[in-house]
A = this chain, B = another copy of it.
Amino acid sequence: MVSREDGGLAARLVSGDVRALARSISIAEHDERAGWSLVGSVYSHTGRATLLGVTGPPGAGKSTLIGSLTRARRDAGRSVGVLSVDPSSPFTHGAVLGDRIRLVEHVLDDGVFIRSMATRGRLGGLAGAAFLATLLIDAAGYDDVMIETVGVGQAEVDIVDHADTVVLVLNPGSGDSIQAIKAGIMEIPAIIAVNKADHPQADELVRHVRASLSLAPRADDEWEVPVVRTRADRADGTGELLALVDEHRQHLADRGLLDARRSIRLRNETLALAADRFRRRLSSGAERAGVVREALEQVDAQQLDPSAAAERLLETLTVADGR
């Protein structure tokens, strides 16, 4: 159901009204149901933006790089939406707030929309909210959506999973970058940018990255991960990086993988929503007499373990998909 107010908001969002977009994302951030209702109204307008994920350890220069990528896209006449998401512990918030300052030059440009998200909700909530925001920015007509996350933990991976192309930014002389390589995250990105390429240890990091890549299993999409050197503060390497982003996108499109990835994202999101709502319904069922309450009481009394109880709930409360 779309309320009259939501209907008006959706129409303004699709027409490219920045304030309607900002308000829509706030709604999606605080009330997933209302957010999905909005997305429902604008869903037919989605699927046109290119989605670029930018991730890497704190201090690698992600925001500066996004700043120069944004400038280059603007110079090419494209509009850009930037979504910065910080799902990690409160310990990194300071860094993220500092990073935002580097995007200031774009704040007054109508062709650039910048948004930060750092709400800590229930598990998975932020990745879901980021996905909603991405769909809304897409529906508002931005040509490119850049999704930035700090770090590369599971929550970040879930967020950049929403992108068609992921760039991992590493910086020389950083223990974090070496840890990232050791932890085997080389399988996540399509492109690796070694930023601060003027650093004395830049060559060493590039060699280290290439050696790790040579050991990593080849991805299903047959794309060979390139390593590009950048100096985001002077926009060095930005052109090369963007060319690689476009090349990767073309590579996926040629193999039908761009659509396939979009389908997988939408499928995962749909099934996650269904499961989440099933859980909420069970949760409200726990309050009144019925199968759910009975099973939970048996778990409490140690007559039934949680897994056996879950099986009983599934047996009793779901039907087979037999159409």
Contact = CB atoms under 8 A, between A and B. Distances in A.
A266 interface: yes
Interface in A116-162: 120-124, 126-127, 151-156, 158
A267 B281 contact: no
Copies of the protein in its oligomer = 2
A123 to B, nearest CB: 5
Contact of A40 (B183, B267, B295, B305): B305
A267 B272 CA distance: 20
Interface stretch (A66-74, A85-93, A199-207, A227-235): A85-93
Interface in A173-217: 175-176, 179-180, 182-185
A285 to B, nearest CB: 4
A266 to B, nearest CB: 5
Contact of A292 (B92, B175, B273, B321): B321
B273 A275 contact: no
B290 A271 contact: no
Could you tell me the dominant secondary structure of chain A's interface residues? helix
A282 B275 CA distance: 9
A104 interface: no
Nearest to A36: B307
A154 B307 contact: no
B307 A39 contact: yes
B94 A179 contact: yes
Contact of A87 (B43, B94, B154, B283): B154
Contacts of A253: none
A307 B273 contact: yes
Interface stretch (A17-25, A244-252, A310-318): A310-318
A314 B122 CA distance: 21
The number of chain A residues touching the other chain, given as a range, is 35 or more
A151 B183 CA distance: 18
Given A91-B151, A91-B179, A318-B318, 12 more contacts: A90-B185, A92-B179, A93-B179, A120-B154, A153-B155, A266-B296, A267-B296, A270-B295, A274-B279, A290-B322, A291-B323, A317-B318
30 contacts: A33-B307, A36-B307, A40-B307, A46-B302, A47-B302, A87-B153, A88-B88, A88-B89, A91-B152, A91-B176, A120-B154, A123-B124, A123-B155, A266-B300, A267-B300, A270-B296, A271-B286, A273-B306, A273-B310, A274-B279, A274-B282, A275-B275, A275-B276, A285-B321, A290-B321, A291-B321, A317-B318, A317-B319, A317-B321, A319-B319
Interface of A: 33, 36-37, 39-40, 43-44, 46-47, 57, 87-94, 120-124, 126-127, 151-156, 158, 175-176, 179-180, 182-185, 262-263, 266-267, 269-279, 281-283, 285-286, 288-292, 294-296, 299-300, 302, 305-311, 313-314, 316-319, 321-323
